[in-house]
């Protein structure tokens, strides 16, 4: 699987860990920046991840900013982007399994590298179960969420 990884300056301290974790799990990591702690704007990097998903360059994304909140809000403004802010492993895998989350947002000022590594691994290793027998309720709920996107246009 190809996973786009991007951050703003506040998320930069965890970016190398995220890239390495994705690669160590046998996936391809697409580094979309930023490349330093020089201040930049998180919406620009949320857009890069969103565009990579929309254009088929990546199947999932990881966004890192100071709290994770700003990047999550920005990412969710984009069509076909379903971002979740996760600071625990349960939310990271359950967001994929039940909600078909395709972008993980993490606050680099909230978590240290080891908890963040475990969260990235949980996200990357999870799969949506909505097509499995007995799990159709998740697919039904995800379809209702996706329908909401078209209501505001």
In order of 16, 55, 88, 98, the CA distances from 92 in angstroms are: 19, 24, 6, 11
The question of whether 98 is a catalytic residue gets the answer: yes
Catalytic hit among 7, 65, 86, 105: 65
Helix (H) or strand (E) holding 11: none
Catalytic hit among 7, 72, 86, 98: 98
| Residues with catalytic function | 65, 98
């Amino acid at each position: 699987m190809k996973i786009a990884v991007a951050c703003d300056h506040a998320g930069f301290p965890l970016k190398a860990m995220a890239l390495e974790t994705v690669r160590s799990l046998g996936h391809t990591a697409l580094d979309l920046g930023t490349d330093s702690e020089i201040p930049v704007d998180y919406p620009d990097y949320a857009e890069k991840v969103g565009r990579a998903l929309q254009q088929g360059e990546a199947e999932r994304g990881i966004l890192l900013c100071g709290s994770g909140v700003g990047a999550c809000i920005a990412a969710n403004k984009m069509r076909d982007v379903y971002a979740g802010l996760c600071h625990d492993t349960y939310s990271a895998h359950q967001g994929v399994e039940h909600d078909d989350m395709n972008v993980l947002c993490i606050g680099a000022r909230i978590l240290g590298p080891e908890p963040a590594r475990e969260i990235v691994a949980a996200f990357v290793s999870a799969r949506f179960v909505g097509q499995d027998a007995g799990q159709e309720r998740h697919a039904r709920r995800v379809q209702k969420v996706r329908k909401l996107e078209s209501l505001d246009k």
